[in-house]
């Protein structure tokens, strides 16, 4: 197998982390940068990574995650929050950044901007949020793969109250909505889940060639 498939075979949804073993700043930065480099539709990146390392804050979020202790007992908790304020101004900021980074004349990508504005602003707010959340999940998968390559254990969680997280973290005022969590750290020796065989379909059951 290649390195990436070896790494993905190694990972599992860690339920119990070593509380006092911290991820290095370099590894955490690399995992977050992998999420930043993840593919998204239009390249728009309609999300923010809220990285929580403060133990008291993580502890306070456990009740909003139905008592799941690994929300607190980890080295870093990443809240992937989707943008709720995707409008023409949001899109214009992005296309202006494209022109600046690529040294293009002002207005060079107006056609691209108009296509995005026409697509996204004509959707309902609910549909725009759902679209943004799909993009956040692409970043989630990329970060999980990157963490696994670095031998950093991880657990993605949907089992939490998004509205309660929004309130606790002040996300609504920032045009964000908590979408999915990623706990990062190192597996505890007593975590029984690490000894369970990974159950996946055989390639011929999941891959169809035409």
Q: What percent of the chain has pLDDT over 70?
A: 100
Under the banding of pLDDT at 50, 70 and 90, the label for residue 103 is very high
Mean per-residue pLDDT, 33-53: 98
Alpha helix ranges (H) inside the chain: 3-10, 25-37, 55-61, 88-101, 110-120, 125-149, 162-169, 203-206
Q: Is the pLDDT of residue 127 over 70?
A: yes
CB 169 within 8 A of CB 177: no
* pLDDT value of position 173: 98
Global pTM value: 0.96
* pLDDT value of position 1: 46
Name the superfamily (CATH) of residues 3-86+121-189.
NADH Oxidase (3.40.109.10)
Q: Is the pLDDT of residue 195 over 90?
A: yes
CA 127 to each of CA 97, 157, 201: distance values in angstroms, whole numbers, following the listed order: 25, 22, 32
């Amino acid at each position: 197998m290649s390195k990436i498939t070896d790494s993905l075979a190694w990972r599992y949804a860690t339920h119990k982390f070593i509380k006092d073993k911290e991820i290095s700043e370099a590894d955490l930065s690399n995992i977050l940068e992998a999420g930043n480099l993840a593919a998204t539709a239009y390249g728009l990146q309609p999300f923010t990574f809220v990285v929580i390392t403060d133990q008291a804050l993580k502890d306070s979020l456990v009740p909003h995650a139905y008592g799941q202790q690994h929300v607190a007992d980890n080295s870093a908790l990443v809240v992937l929050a989707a943008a709720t304020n995707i409008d023409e101004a949001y899109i214009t900021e992005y296309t202006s950044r494209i022109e600046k980074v690529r040294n293009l004349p002002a207005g060079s990508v107006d056609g691209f901007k108009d296509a995005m504005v026409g697509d996204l602003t004509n959707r309902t707010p609910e549909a725009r949020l759902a679209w943004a959340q799909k993009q956040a999940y692409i970043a989630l998968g990329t970060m999980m793969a990157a963490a696994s390559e670095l031998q950093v254990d991880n657990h993605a969680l949907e089992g939490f109250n998004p509205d309660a997280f929004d309130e606790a973290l002040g996300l609504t005022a920032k045009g964000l909505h908590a979408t999915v969590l990623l706990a990062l750290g190192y597996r505890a020796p007593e975590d029984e889940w690490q000894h369970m065989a990974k159950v996946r379909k055989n390639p011929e059951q999941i891959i169809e060639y035409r």
